[in-house]
Amino acid sequence: MADNAAQRPNILWYCTDQQRHDTIGALGNPHINTPQLDAFCETGVAFDNAYCQSPICTPSRASFLTGRYPATTHVHRNGNAYFPAGERLVTKIFSDAGYDCGLVGKLHLSSAKGYEKRTDDGYRLFQWSHHPHPDLDPAHHAYHQWLEKEKGVDAADLYSTVTGFYAEGVPAELHQTTWVTEAAIRFVEQKRSGPWLLSLNPFDPHPPFDPPPDYLARYAPGDLPPPLFRPSDLERQKAFRGIAQQTIDAMDPMGEMPTEKLSAEEARKTAYSPPKQFNGQVVKAAYYAMIELIDHEFGRLLRALDAMGELENTIVVFHSDHGEMLGDHGLLYKGCRFFEGLVHVPLIVSWPGHIQENVRSRALVELVDIAPTLLEATGLDVPGDMQGRSLWPLMTGTSDLNTHKPHVVSEFNDALGSAAISAPSHGTMYFDGRMKHIVYHGTDLGELYDLKVDPGEFENLFDEPAVQEQRLELMRRHFDALMATSSPGIERTSIY
Amino acid sequence: MSPPRLCQDTRDVRTEVGFADAEFDAFIEVGARAAATEVCAARSKPVAVREFADMSKPAPKNLLFLLSDNHARGYLGCYGNPLARTPNLDRLAARGARFTNAYSASPLCCPARAALATGRFPHQTGYWDNAIPFDGHVMSWMRRLRDAGHTVSSIGKLHFRETSVANGFSAELLPMHILEGKGGVHMLLRAVDRGEPVNAGQWHLYMDRSGVGTAPYQAFDSEITTAAIAWLEAHANNDGKPWVLFVSYPSAHPPFSVPAEFYRESDEAAVILPDDWQTPHAEDHAAIAHLRRIMNSQPMSAADEPALRRVLAGYLALTEHLDTEIGQVLAALEDSGRAADTRVVYTSDHGELAGAHGLFGKSCMFEESIGVPLILAGPDVPEGAVIDAPVSHVDLCPTILEGAGLDVDENDVEDLAVSLWAELKTSGTQRAVFAEYHAAGSKSGSFMLRQGHWKLLYHVGMQPQLFDLESDPHELCDLGPNHPKAKELDRKLRAICDPEAVDARAKSDQRHWIEHWGGADRITSEALMIYTPPPGQPAEVE
């Protein structure tokens, strides 16, 4: 244990699953009700331009938990057999430095079918619940054990009432999101001599879209803006039919909601396979309601920590691993695509008295930057093989709040397996804050958007003759940026 | 009429009163059980357990954990068996503390080892049987020590799901896990209507294969010993970092086919057969009747006596072989110069019925099956202490973590595990010790609660049993559920867990894994493994 471990701040690291950037009231969405997150934003730095390193769970999480890009971790796929032993999680570094580390919720660094093999993750508390549904090894499903032991509820019975990708979900008091807060409070309450780090990874607002009934009732779908969609999207998306995405054929996002009731087994599968028709406003209402429950529980947790006197010396990070199409361009869920809804995520950091409060940073930042930020904030060395760049100078005001990186990248390297896709997809994105350049490697497909004039990403300029000279320059920068995500590897000790 | 066997307490007399072998044998020949018990009673209470932990000395840094498989308490010299040839373990017990009433948490390899690693019982972890073994999801004491900066190496049999950094070791050498990450899937079928299939080979494994011969485990034992000696030579003095070496032998698991150098034909005549080796099976408790059927246990008659004597002689020979291997590792520890700051633990995952009640193997709550030897030695352990208070394998987790000076909280230890340092200090408490079983050969969950000399066995859906181990050490007389003590222990058991709910949860988890492996039909169609092979060897199947 480091000598001065006891003085280091605690770390509360709250990462939701599949939450888009535009889902926090105070950050510009008047349609969603997030009073707790709004108040939280006032206590720290909100990053308006944070991007995930992959639009898919496992590569994204492996990246921000190691501070290294997927090209370096080699963790590209959901469902991969194991997490490479040579990769070091930042939670392990904290554990070695004397932190008492806990995890509640999902981890998803390797296949979570049945159960997830643990790696040398540094977590002493490991309350695993990949998703709330009852198809996981029951012995490993901490949320279900809580339901059974403390709530007297049979998880299979409870979830048998959720009958589709859109449904009234389990009551808030039995919800996985609620359990996350309960387990977190219990962990923090324990006596310890050093600091703690707590990773809280609820499954929501990942589909199925099944908020508690009373939360669902708070949103009138007709009052919500419809998804970003033009009829031309249906034709435009046909070219991407061979690209791995969960919605294979774009749909009119203002269609009818499916009426059929699914079995519990079929409903569970809707977590990863979207419906053939949907109404974007209805889906958005449920999605917002799920986030409102997260908001409520996140706020409840912060108040509980405050009451325990644990908040004043705690760095709190809130973000998501990737986004959700939510009907934009006729697509639901995720895949090898790089629309704003999918790769642009919320990221808010607070540590009152130590970093700036109630500010918003326009800097381009990446989730890979979180790990080195936390190390620098706690006074620990950032390993030389960590690729992210600390946000500490921005947050503390020692560098310009709005300047960090010239570009951000994201990639999909066969990240999703799908029976519907014949060949694996490989796509990469380069975004410089205005131009977003996307290449689907091994195909003729690409996308190029000028977000300054086309923030909705409707006008794909990739094949426009007039921009080819500019695109060549973007292609070169894109190529350079990708090359930089691959670690130079082992240090040189001699000239040959 | 077979000669009376020694009561548990009598066995302890030999080492405690320092009988020479001949004297002891003569003492036994008198057959004065009552007198022996009296001596026992007189000796067992005042055994002066010195105040634990001489605080003037620095706490030992290292731990050598020696684990065997299937070694019943009754098959060590220091536990009072005059025929056992276990001089190395006897010496270890003489320089440390010996627990005369230590229990496996769940008497089968995988659930016992999961409990040993986690300090938690199956109902607290969900590691129920040999198809749902420890996999690193729940914190192990090994991982806690590794995360605290100790080098924690294993050599030999672990019987976890697979090699994984999550198991908790810095390195797993010669690891033996369940076969192909899948294990004994047939026992999962206890959770569905068709039930667990009969393991026809079990009976023949004992009755037809005991004696002079070879078995794959013994060569593996030797590899483990060689690796352990090499490890101690290479690492015992490394950079001052504290270390744990977990050396785990597959012996004395059947088959009892042993080299001639260990097998003594004279043992065949000398072994004392269990009182009830010919028990009429009609008198069986329903749980035992079921176990007998699944393990293909045949009724034994006088014609079977020679074969049974070979089983017991083979078992004695195999435990001698095991002791010889362990002796080499203990000598290597001495040679390393680190014995003065290293604690040593010896125990076994579970016992062996060895013909008691006409049964072989384990998988039930009889003392021979669930009782284990437990020896704790080291510079801060009182020499020659004998602790009669019941203790459990789960106690080793808090014992080891506390011994290493770690802060221990509810994430590390739950209520049912108690640090043995406290037991050593107080010369044993009167707490009730729990165990449970939900695996091969059991139709429904069985639970044990042992307090003092009383032992309640609760079988879901069946008649509970109560034994008074003082007057009936071989559990021949079931006092039944109406005994006041049975009622008292039943209340205490229900304060620990709801047996019916735990049974339902075990079966629900087992059904989950049946589906995981393709369903009951698929499992039924697969060959039934008789025992887990050592690494690289094919499985023996029916």
Nearest to B139 among A124, A138, A148 (CB): A124
For residue B448, pLDDT beyond 50: yes
Question: How far, in Å, CA of B354 to CA of B81, rounded?
Answer: 14
Q: What is the average pLDDT value for chain A, to the nearest integer?
A: 94
CA distance A295 to A16: 11
Q: Which amino acid is at B375?
A: I
Taking the C-alpha atoms of residue A329 and residue A254, their distance in angstroms, rounded to an integer, is 11
Residue pointed to by tokens 């018990």: B37
Q: Residue B38 in 3-state DSSP? A: helix
Average pLDDT over residues B358-363: 96
**Buried/exposed code over B40-69 (b: 16+ C-beta within 10 A; e: otherwise):** beebbeebebeebeeeeeebbbbbbbbbbb
| A117·B164 Cβ contact <8 A | yes
Q: Which amino acid is at B434?
A: F
pLDDT at residue B57, rounded to an integer: 52
User: Is the CA virtual torsion B206, B207, B212, B214 positive or negative?
Assistant: negative
Q: Which residues does B contribute to its contact with A (CB < 8 Å)?
A: 125-128, 132, 135-139, 144, 147, 164-166, 407, 409-412, 505, 508-509, 512-513, 516
Cα dihedral A206, A210, A214, A219 sign: positive
Minimal CA separation from B196 to chain A, in Å: 21
If you average pLDDT over residues B474-487, what whole number do you get? 95
pLDDT at A325 over 60: yes
Longest CA–CA separation in chain B, Å = 63
pLDDT for B189: 97
- Spatial CA neighbour of B225 closest among B259, B251, B243, B258: B251
Which of A125, A126, A137 is facing B512, going by the closest CB pair? A137
Mean of the pLDDT values across residues B399-428? 85
What's residue A421's pLDDT? Answer: 67
**Residue (of A295, A323, A442) closest to A50 by Cα position:** A323
The residue among B147, B137, B98 whose CA lies nearest residue B114 is B137
Residues of A in contact with B512 (CB under 8 A): 137-138
Q: From residue B184, how far is each of A137, A325, A426, B352 by CA, in Å?
A: 17, 45, 41, 19
Of chain B, the percentage scoring pLDDT greater than 70 comes to 89
Assign B3 a pLDDT band (cuts: 50, 70, 90). very low
Q: What would the two tokens of residue B192 be?
A: 């569905």
Burial class (CB in 10 A: 0-12, 13-18, 19+), A494: exposed
Residue A281 has pLDDT above 80, yes or no: yes
Residue A259's Cβ-count burial label (10 Å; 0-12, 13-18, 19+) is: exposed
Distances (CA, A) of B246 to A188, B26, B117, B174, B231: 33, 40, 11, 12, 11
Angle, vertex CA B18, rays to CA B14 and CA B22, nearest 5: 70
Least confident of A277-291, B36-50, B198-212, B361-375: B36-50
Q: Is the pLDDT of residue B22 over 60?
A: no
**Contact residues, chain B, for A99 at CB < 8 Å:** none
At A177-202, the pLDDT tens digits run: 999 999 999 999 988 889 999 999 99
C-alpha closest to that of A324 among A288, A279, A298, A295: A288
Facing residue for A118 by CB, picked from B164, B505, B516? B164
B295, B203 contact by CB (below 8 A): yes
Other C-beta atoms closer than 10 Å to the C-beta of B251 total 26
Residue B8 has pLDDT above 80, yes or no: no
- Using an 8 Å CB-CB cutoff, list chain B residues near A147: none
Whether the per-residue pLDDT at B17 is higher than 60: the answer is no
Q: Provide the CA A282 distance to its chain's centre, in angstroms.
A: 22
Check if the beta carbon of residue B131 is closer than 8 Å to that of residue B181: no
Span A301-328, average pLDDT: 96
Q: Do A140 and B411 touch (CB under 8 A)?
A: no
Q: CA distances (Å), A127 to each of A149, B169, B213, in order?
A: 14, 21, 49
β-pair partners for B518: none
Shortest distance, CA A35 to any CA of chain B (angstroms)? 34
Collapsed DSSP state (helix, strand, coil) of residue A87: coil
Average pLDDT over residues B529-534: 88
| Other CB atoms within 10 Å distance of the CB of residue A304 | 17
Return d(Cα B301, Cα B313) in angstroms, integer. 18
Phi then psi dihedrals of residue A95, to 5 deg: -60, -45
Q: Name the CA radius of gyration of chain A, rounded.
A: 22
CA-based nearest residue in chain B for residue A156: B508
> Is residue B7 predicted with pLDDT exceeding 50?
no
How far is residue A411's CA from residue A434's CA, in Å, rounded to a whole number? 18
Say yes or no for a CB contact (<8 Å) between B147 and A95. yes
B-chain residues within 8 Å CB-CB of A138?
Answer: 126, 505, 508-509, 512
**Global pTM?**
0.86
Residue A120 DSSP label = S
Of residues B122, B187, B139, B132, the one with CA closest to residue B160: B132
Comparing alpha-carbon positions, the chain A residue that sits nearest to B140 is A124
The strand pairing partners of B465, in sequence order, are B457
Average pLDDT over residues B373-397: 95
Query: What is the model's pLDDT at position B429?
Result: 64
| Residue B77: how many other CB atoms lie within 10 Å | 23
Name the interface residues of A facing B (CB cutoff 8 Å): 85, 95-96, 114-115, 117-122, 124-126, 128, 137-140, 148, 190-193
B411 and A124 in contact by Cβ < 8 A? Answer: yes
Tokens, residue A480: 């350079």
